[in-house]
Amino acid sequence: MLLRRRGQGSILTFVVAIALISTSFPTTAASYKIKQGDTLWEIAAKHHTTVAKLAKANHLRENAVLPLGKSIVIPGTTRQKEPNRRSTPSRQTSATAHTSADAVCLRAGASTNCRKIATLQRGTTLRVLYRNGKWAKVALANGVCGFVYRPLLAAGPGSSSPARSAETVRSAGVGCDTSSVVRTALAYRGSRYARGGTGRGGFDCSGFTRYVYSRFGIKLPHSSAAQAGTGTPVSKDDLQPGDLVFFQTGRRGISHVGIYIGDGKFVHASNHGRGVTVDSLGSSYYGPRYRGARRIR
């Protein structure tokens, strides 16, 4: 009887010890504070996760506008602070690679049925953001992103310089995913207005549209009037997200430009007091001053 009680006591002691050990290594979930210019795509790539997982973990839409200064949870990063414990390898990566064949297709999705963005020459250097089965999400030096069939990639930089690679994409007639254009544009909402500005330090109206489209390999002139001569004209009834919208805010022709985001609204670098913001095409100010739209592809 005494031996039995001692045995039960040993078991109880063992269970308590295990419980204490399990609580001695608290779990921590990584978080990230949203900064100016951040998008879910960039945050996901930086933390080796996917946009879908990031959006789900934070109850966000994949094209949501990210509030500056808010902290979001990075999924898949909960870990125990135990010594000598290696993390599980992720399918996401951020490595340099290059195309190992001629005429490699850069596509808008991970399928041969998806729209072809461009044809890349052999040796084109790119950055692998993450793997998706037999496909890889990649980014070129000029910011153009797409999917490439993984067997057509090799590790390390290629023989083509970044500038030459970017030029290859432009000459192939690169198009851009308009949802990505809108997502990128909205990521800069709240940025300050700067006359003549074309970068993160501040934008004027045409500098803002020029900067957003440059992220997709499309070069626009730094002038709202000059941008009104690019692309193809679009009627107001046929507006699509990503189209450039133009206004006459002064006495002499086109003097303001923004990017249409849908639902009758557009994002633009407004003025020194408001910076990059969203307004309605039907507002009392911009409605009467609307002068047309152009589609950039």
Residue 145: alpha-carbon gap to chain centroid: 9
- Catalytic status, residue 256: yes
- Catalytic status, residue 176: no
Q: What is the pLDDT of residue 228?
A: 94
Of the residues 48, 176, 268, 272, only one is catalytic, namely: 268
132 phi and psi angles, rounded to 5 deg: -135, 85
Domains and CATH numbers, the chain: 92-175 (2.30.30.40), 179-295 (3.90.1720.10)
Please answer whether residues 168 and 121 qualify as being in contact, where contact means their C-beta atoms are separated by less than 8 angstroms.
yes
Segment 188-209, tens digit of pLDDT = 888 999 999 988 789 999 999 9
Mean pLDDT of 22-26: 46
Q: What is the pLDDT of residue 26?
A: 47
Segment 219-256, tens digit of pLDDT = 899 999 999 999 999 999 999 999 999 999 988 899 99
Mean pLDDT of 145-149: 85
Residue 273 predicted with pLDDT over 70: yes
Of the residues 47, 105, 145, 256, only one is catalytic, namely: 256
3-state helix, strand, coil in the chain (%, to 5): 25, 30, 45
- Catalytic status, residue 205: yes
Q: What is the pLDDT of residue 25?
A: 45
